[in-house]
Amino acid sequence: MTSSTATRSTTSATGEPGTMVTRGTVLIVLASICFGTSGPLVKPTMDAGLSPQQVVSFRIGLAAAMLLVCVAVTRPKLLAVRRSDLPVLIGYGLIGVASVQFLYFAAVSRIPIGVAMLLEFTSPVLVALWVRLVRRVVLPASMWVGTALALLGLAMVAEVWQGLRLDALGLLFGVGAALCAAAYFLIGERGVSTMPMVGLVTWGMVIGAVAVAVMAPPWSLPGEIMAADADFGGLAVPVWVLLVACAVISTAMAYLLSISAMRYLPPNVVSVIAVCEPIVATTLAWLVLGQALTVVQIAGALVLLAGATVVQLAARRPNVALPADPVPPQV
């Protein structure tokens, strides 16, 4: 997308505050809620004996199968893909679906979860820098303030100072997850402008599932663990039920809602509002898994929401594009 195209896209997405911005905000908040359920749903399955790689392979594989079958039966025309869309589609599946999750879990295996989460959710800054430096779009100063507040609140929610160990490889994985998460928003914005939203998510999920299956085939999951019960908020729930719920809610629905938001909001706004996900994950972990919230975490949640609100309000203002380069940069 050229810089001028980016400006037109942003203006159209924010030109009707009562409809476009509100609709996009609701969609990305719902997506964050769905994404935020993955931790509480997956944690008991890993406690039962599954590895993070097996969980990722199952959730992506099942979500891809469900989406492909449902769309093929109900609206097969949405699965039509033009040759010109293949690079975006492959990038969305390999980077936005498979790589983000694998790199995040790889980071978690070497550094504290809070640090890994903070690193991944620095993606809004990376997206904003791309929009400013590559697309040459001048962003409102309040958007930078809101982004900084959101990241500060995220650090407080994650309590990154607890047990910090600077494992170089773990930090590298975390930075890689942030880069892939930023690419997800940018590639997704490009994808929804050229192909049907449902088709983009479906084929992206299929591509991601194939890539993950090469390293961790979903059919290799141990049957005895899948059939066993896991402790879910004091209830004995079969492991396979939690995994299916994760595939449906935390993966298929989450990606569909997230990509839908990009039809109404620019990626720099969507990526910041999406940092509400850690609040959802932390709250559900408290309610379901008994992981109590501290005073600092509650304060951090308020700071994060304040930052996301500032960004959402800033999105209502038109952006200004700098003079384009002779050869417009591409996303």
Percent of the chain with pLDDT over 90: 15
Compute the Cα dihedral for 58, 61, 67, 69 and give only its sign: negative
Instruction: Give the model confidence (pLDDT) of 209-268 as tens digits.
Output: 999 888 788 778 888 999 999 888 778 899 999 999 999 998 899 888 988 888 888 776
Average pLDDT, the chain: 78
Query: Residue 203 has what pLDDT?
Result: 94
| Rounded Cα–Cα distance for residues 308 and 302 (Å) | 10
Phi/psi at 231 (5° precision):
-80, 110
49: which 2 tokens? 């004996």
Instruction: Give the model confidence (pLDDT) of 271-295 as tens digits.
Output: 777 777 777 777 777 777 666 667 8
Does pLDDT of 329 surpass 60?
Answer: no
Domain ranges of the chain: 3-315
Q: Looking at residue 262, what DSSP letter applies?
A: T
Residue type for 49, please? G
Does pLDDT of 313 surpass 70?
Answer: no
The residue that leads in pLDDT, 300 or 252, is 252
Q: Are 300 and 121 in contact (CB under 8 A)?
A: no
Query: Residue 105 has what pLDDT?
Result: 74
| Rounded Cα–Cα distance for residues 45 and 43 (Å) | 5
Instruction: Give the model confidence (pLDDT) of 25-75 as tens digits.
Output: 888 889 888 888 887 888 888 888 888 788 888 989 999 999 999 999 998
Instruction: Supply the pTM of this predicted model.
Output: 0.71
Report the DSSP beta bridge partners of residue 229: 238
